Every structure is written in C-alpha cells, then in structure tokens.
Structure 1
Amino acid sequence: MTLNIPRIGLGTWRLLGASGQASVETALELGYRHLDTAEMYGNEEMVGMALAASGVPRDDVFVTSKVWWTNLSPDAMRTCMGMSLRRLGLAQLDLYLIHWPAKGMDLNQALDTLQTLQAEGLTKAIGVANFPPALLEAALATGAPLAALQVEYHAMLGQDRLLAITRAHDMVLTAYSPLAQGRLAADPTLGAIATRLGVTPGQVALAWLMRQDGVVPIPKASRRENLAANLAALDIAPLLTEADLAAIAALPKDKRAVNPVFAPDWNA
C-alpha cells in the first residue's frame, strides 16, 4: 500500500466525553496507532485530548478525520478542516476524507479543494468515504491523488467491485463496522474457526479482513478487554488457513448495517 497506515485502527464513532477519552487513551496504551474520527462524530476535541494525554509522540499515530457531506463547498471545506485541526490540537492530519457524497455535489470542485488543503500541508493524504463504484471511478478520473476509500466492509457485506478499483489504483480500503455492529458473533462458520483457534468470532472476522491486500479494519470498542481482543486479531490473521479464508468468503455478503437516508445508490 502506498499509504503508510497501520493495519488496524480504532473507530471512534459514539465514543464521547470522559469515558470516550479514557477508551482512546486505553487504546493508545495497548498499542493502537491509528485513530479514526470525523467532524460529525462530535468527539474530535476528546480524541485530541486523549492523544495529548497519552504521551505517544504525534508522529507515531495516524489520525483520520472527515468533512460532512453538507460542507463540500470550497469555503465550507476549508473552514471545517481548520475547525477539525483546532479541536484535535493538531497542525496536520494524516488523512482527510469526504465523509459521504452529496447528491448534486460538484465533484471536481470538492476534490480540487481537498488537493489544495493537501498542498498547503494541512493533511498528508486525501480520500473519500461511502463512494459507490461509479462515483469512485469518476473521482479517480479527475486525477485527484486519492489514497484511501472508507466504506462498510465485513464478513457479511462484500465489496469486490470497490476492491478491484482500490487495488488497481493502489488505494487503501478502510473497513468501518468490520464486526457488522455485533451481528457476526452468532455466525456458525466464524464460530467453528474461532473454536478451533481458541479465539472469538469477532477476532476471526477482523483477521479475515487483515489477510486481504490493502484492507484496514477500524473496529470501535470502548472496554479494555474488547480493545485488546480486536488488536490481538493482528496475531490471529496469519493462523487462518486457505480453507478458512474461502469459507468466510463464501458467506452471504448482503447484510449492510449502515444505510442512512442520504446514502448513495450503492450499486451504481
């Protein structure tokens, strides 16, 4: 992968306040070096406070934030970027994404603005999130140096079309909701593999993602034991056999957990 990004990250959606800060600090203590936030999460200040309190050097942590789909005009994007940096207490992001495409958006203008922010040193890399295949192709056709795509991806939701595009363009696919918001725990295929390895179905699901070229899961967790379990999936990934990988790949891949009213046509 061209983008130098840790193989697993911490998703921070719904981590808020003092308890959220404690969770992020615990994650950094355990060894997480990749934090994913967004202006819409309302927790950038908390994430920044946790990073500062952790004592981990800034350069050792990969930080992603995102601009909301209602703020894609040039002036709004610039303002939002500045506010995100101030809340996080950072001079530069590692990755800045368009969080969702907006219907009728001026794609060229939005991508031009992203590139300007990158050229000014406010973010090291740029990308998009929740773009379906045709829109991602259109974005790449502008020549914008998109380094990452963030979408929902897990053992019950396939993303083969998007993966074909991201791999062809040497992009990272960041997988949010990689545990399908808890829906994977009862799956018998994952359960059988987990039992054999002495781990949990969730760890198997994360390990499956990490075995794939260019895929980086960002599971959300708040409790120390869950944070540690998710991070341990790094060590489980090499233990999955080709038969395990094939069995998980063969599971139905049509269970989408995140589909808001403003979502794009996923099949486009």
Structure 2
Amino acid sequence: MPEHPSTNREPSMARNDHRPLHGRTALVTGGSRGIGAAIVRRLAADGADVALTHLRSEERARAVVRDAEALGVRALAVRADSADPEALRSAVGLVHERLGGPHILVNNAGVAPFGPFEGFTVADFDRAIAVHARAAFVAAQAAVPHMGPGGRIIGIGTNLSERAPLPEAVLYSTGKSALLGFTRSLARELGPRGITVNLVHPGSTDTDMNPADGPGADAERALTALGRYCSPEDVAASVAHLAGPGGRGITGTSILVDAGANA
C-alpha cells in the first residue's frame, strides 16, 4: 500500500531543469534510513523523482519523502518487506503507476545478522539470502520491463564480500556475496538492451546500525587506509555517478567505498 505519496503530480521541477537525472524515476529499497536514505536524497538532488520502500520506519520514511519533495521532485514511500516477493512486485507496480519508470533501481535493503555462525538457524540464513539476493532478483525482474535503454540497476553490497577481516559475518557476507554473480551475469544479459548493472560495496559507514562512535569502531577504523569511517553520503555519491550520464559506460563491475579497507 502507498503511504506517503507526493501531492505534486507534475513532472519534477521545470522543463528547463538541467539536473542530470531530471525526467527519471528511481526506486530505492530500504530507503528510509542510513545509506538508503542518503541515496534517495542524493538522487532527488540530482533531479530524479524518487520512491523508497521501508518495513517499519514510517516516521523516517515520511521525513525522507519531505526532504525529497523540498528539492522539487515527486516522492513516494511504500511499505514492503523485501523478503516478500509479492510485496516487492506490488511496490514496483505502484511506483510505475504513480511516478513512471522506474528507470533506476537501487537494491539497498538489507539485514545485518552478525554473530557466531553456530548460533544462527536455517530460518536466519534463509532470510539473509531472501533479503539480499532473492529480493534483488525479484525487484529487477519487475522493474526491467519499465526501463528501456539507459536503465540502471545498482546493488548495495559490502566490502566483506571480497575479504573477511573480521569474524562473525558469515550470514551477512554470504547473502551479500550472491550479488557479485547476479551483477556480472545480469550485466551481460541486459547490456544489449542498454541497461547497466553494477554493485557498490560500502565498508564501515557511519549509520545507526554501525555508528562511528560505537564500541567496535576503533577496530574497524584501524583496518582502513584513510583511518576513518565513510559517510552515507560517500556511498550515495558513487550510486549517483552510476545512475547518471557518467555511468553509461560502466557495467558488470563493483566499486568499493570503504576508505581503503580492502586496499
């Protein structure tokens, strides 16, 4: 169900809007907080009409919608569990009905199951795979028919897909690692249709799930070349580049935004 549709039903801004994503619609799954919210705000600043899904963060979703509308674009928040294929398909359909497109899909929604692997259940494993890997497949399958040439699919992975500098990340790394094969294979399949598929790998990023002043932050900072956490805006900047004109020649690849942790 739609929750916070924009009342502005006209195309975003004026016809002479020269922002790089003017006339495009972006859908960001899990876009009510952290990295997802920063991506929504950045794509809106670049002129895209934006939609986001969320599961429980209704007030945060409202705030992100308001921020996007203040930038002169249309915005929509939809409650949808990324582990529910039908909910995801319905969300994509609603975005198409209300805003057009989507021309840009950012598969950002995720869970963070950290801990000793013996303590997890098969249900925990299945949910990690469902939210990270299956959801990307379902959302892309629903969105691609609306994209056409110039479409963009961008996944949000993790630098822990490529290296394992810390213990107790088995479920998280496994679920996110599936996006590597998905991205490369889908890029090959959709390339002839002019649609790019890429993956952004954040490292330690200052969000409420992993704050830069948290109990393990010093250990994570010590792993980076720059000696600092990244911000959600750092990740959003790379997503915006891939989503915009500068990303038209980039497909089937991964970009690390991890302050050099994997250098």
* TM-score range relative to shorter protein: 0.3 to 0.5
TM-score with structure 1 setting the length: 0.36
TM-score with structure 2 setting the length: 0.37
